[in-house]
Amino acid sequence: AAPVRFESVTKMFGKDVVAVDNINLHVEAGKLVTLLGPSGCGKTTTLRMIAGLEMATSGKITIGDRDVTKLPATDRDVSMVFQSYALFPHMSVLENVMYGLTFSGFAKDEARSRALDGLELVGLKGFDGRLPSELSGGQQQRVAVARALVLEPQVLLFDEPLSNLDAKLRRQVREDIRAIQQDLGLTVVYVTHDQEEALAVSDEIVVMRNAAIAQIGTPRQLYDAPNDRFVADFIGEANLLACQIISVEGDMATIEIEGYRHTLSSRDMPQGPATVAIRPSRLVIGAEQGIAATVAKATYVGVRMEYTLTGAFGQVFAVHDDVDAPLEPGAEIR
């Protein structure tokens, strides 16, 4: 496994489309780093530049200590797993996984034994004789993962690998991908537009917006300390409320919303008007003191209650685990 580095990398399509705008990025060896952002922000293009399927317009890309900026895809020692599994329909599962191995010069017996090991790794032992059409979507994607894994690439790339799977399978396959990545110590760059998936699998998340990087951090850093509204809103849900910063001492700030004061951790901020982002699970509901609110909506979703609360501040979304004694719509609370 090797690290990947981008230095001031830009990708233009034609003269007008800036798909990736001057990004700097460092993916440590053996880590899983996710590119997360809305559709069209440049995730796939970034991934394809690592693979060598697109060439950078300017800047430098290194894998390990090799400058690969100008190298063709076949010389980069990288494999990619796509959203559409791209299996050969007329070949057996085993032949699909062996394909890249024989192509890159392994003798048939060695390729076969590596492919069988790969299938075992993704939980498909005994499926080697089947055709792709005889497998479920989740199993087909596992074959695609095995096919990429057996090449033992320096870097493994995933482009929205779970998009074609239903919710339950998505969770299972993403956990499997993460477990294999950690067991084998693989360098993985993983693309998704799904924030929950990104939070679940990543060592580090790169949030992209409009061809640029909005913020890089661990899942917890991004969730607890987003740099701006876009990141706060994109990673998980956030209630964005207008407030006044009354005072700042060290890394604590006292804010005021509708006459209620509260002290919280903050980056260095000037006094005055600001926006505070509050996670739905961090709102304390039914406190003695606090901001007056009315329960506008109460929804039971099994593991928790979801509330919409309204007041002079506007509207907030809150979640609470009081499923056995929920608040009723209309309740006046703080």
Joined together, the tokens standing for residue 302 give 């099994």
Cβ at position 191, least distance to Mg ion in Å: 6
By C-beta, is 192 or 266 nearer to Mg ion?
Answer: 192
Looking at 13-21, 134-142, 181-189, 306-314, which segment touches ligand ADP (CB under 6 A)? 13-21
Binding status of residue 187 toward Mg ion by CB under 5 A: no
Candidate list 5, 9, 32, 42; residue touching ligand ADP; CB under 6 A: 42
CA distance 11 to 248: 42
CA distance 77 to 80: 10
Site for Mg ion in 11-50 (CB under 5 A): 44
Cβ at position 42, least distance to ligand ADP in Å: 4
Up-side HSE of residue 1: CA atoms within 13 Å toward CB?
18
Residue 45 binds: one of ligand ADP, Mg ion, none (C-beta under 5 to 8 A by kind)? ligand ADP
Binding status of residue 44 toward ligand ADP by CB under 6 A: yes
Binding status of residue 17 toward ligand ADP by CB under 6 A: yes
Residue 42 binds: one of Mg ion, ligand ADP, none (C-beta under 5 to 8 A by kind)? ligand ADP
CA distance 263 to 285: 17
Q: Do 231 and 61 contact (CB within 8 A), yes or no?
A: no
Residue 13 binds: one of Mg ion, ligand ADP, none (C-beta under 5 to 8 A by kind)? ligand ADP
Classify strands 32-36 and 188-192 as parallel, antiparallel or unpaired: parallel
Amino acid at residue number 155: V
Cβ at position 43, least distance to Mg ion in Å: 5
Joined together, the tokens standing for residue 184 give 């084998």
Binding status of residue 210 toward ligand ADP by CB under 6 A: no
Name residue 36's beta-bridge partners.
192, 207
CA distance 13 to 26: 24
Binding status of residue 84 toward ligand ADP by CB under 6 A: no
Binding status of residue 45 toward ligand ADP by CB under 6 A: yes
Q: Where are the beta strands (DSSP E) in 37-119?
A: 58-63, 66-67, 78-81
Q: By CB under 6 A, name the binding residues for ligand ADP.
A: 13, 17, 19, 37, 39-45
